[in-house]
A = this chain, B = another copy of it.
Amino acid sequence: MFAPLQNDTFLRACWRQATDHTPVWLMRQAGRYLPEYCATRAKAGSFMGLATNVDYATEVTLQPLDRYPLDASILFSDILTVPDAMGLGLSFAMGEGPKFAKVVRDEAAVDALAVPDMDKLRYVFDAVTSIRRALNGRVPLIGFSGSPWTLACYMVEGGGSDDYRLVKSLMYSRPDLMHRILAINADAVALYLNTQIEAGAQAVMVFDSWGGVLADGAFQEFSLAYTRRVLAQLKREQDGVPIPRLVFTKGGGLWLDQMASLDCEVLGLDWTVNLARARALVGGQVGGAGKALQGNIDPNVLFAPPAQIDAQVKQVLDSFGQPHTDRTASGPTHIFNLGHGISQFTPPAHVKALVDAVHTHSRAMRQAR
């Protein structure tokens, strides 16, 4: 049904298999920093107009691949499609973040929540299949969703927040209601990701963008437990091919040892985490179990001149250290990425400097061995 994969570097690294270079992709790689993206978005009229149109979503997903030799693509969509399908009414005002027409702040609103009919998300699954076909095997396609906790933040706050006052007020005042929201979110996210897998996603990633705002203790109870509930329900393979699962908790570095027990293949890290320490903690040994690590350069490095970008990329690669090169066993691997989504103000030429630096230096590291 789909063309054979030509570049499996990303998937090999997910499975902790040796690769010739460190694969690289960038969170939000199809985005406003690219003039061609802005042109497509202008045609679409709005962000949701873009995300719900299969042809536009396919077009923008492939745009960064035409500019840069990236090792993976990621579905163009939003982390909030699931609560939108629950009937909360997602919109994006120009130049602003997401907004929900309805919010979930009391028992009646929680009572009204349910796992949405996946038909309401058909546009996402159609986009997955369309993108996978358009990729024609160039690189693998990653599907994704927000984590149950991250979705709950937006569902309660009604949009972005700088203090998470409303969602935390509910959590501390009525933990029973918060657990009900999270259980529904987890089951919805699992079904959503499984349907993406069936539609053609070759890996799936859970973005726990706001897990890091929780207190120690609350993180484990209200975020990690529900990410676990999602993972437990995910399909392990599609058409005989195993599907790796990635989890990224922004600001979750302090809980890395607890995330080591998640039933997933890859842990994403933000720039505050020391990669050598993370590798020692959860990366495992050659021949042993462990997690592949993804990350973690500060996206603001991309505002420096190319020479500085090159030096910073080298520093991140060196911090992880030599990836294993044993073709007969699994072992510690690194997938290069930003520690957060790319900024809309990023000069596109600087992205090229970054991607090239990752490939060049990571090949040299393996040869210097």
Contacts and interface: CB of A to CB of B under 8 A. Distances in A.
A304 interface: yes
A343 B163 contact: yes
B272 A165 contact: no
B164 A300 contact: yes
Interface stretch (A48-56, A128-136, A211-219, A323-331): A211-219
B301 A172 contact: yes
A339 B339 CA distance: 24
Contacts of A319: 216-217
Interface residues of A, number: 38
B343 A298 contact: no
Contacts of A218: 298
Contact of A251 (B163, B216, B272, B315): B272
A254 interface: yes
Interface string A296-316: 111011011100100010010
A271 interface: yes
Given A298-B215, A343-B163, A303 B169 contact: yes
Contacts of A172: 298, 300-301, 303-304, 308, 312
Contacts of A214: 271-272
A254 B269 CA distance: 13
Given A172-B308, A217-B274, 5 more contacts: A165-B345, A169-B304, A214-B272, A216-B273, A254-B274
9 contacts: A163-B300, A165-B303, A168-B300, A169-B303, A172-B312, A214-B271, A215-B296, A216-B274, A253-B254
Interface of A: 162-165, 168-169, 172-173, 212, 214-219, 251, 253-254, 271-275, 296-298, 300-301, 303-305, 308, 312, 315, 319, 339, 343, 345
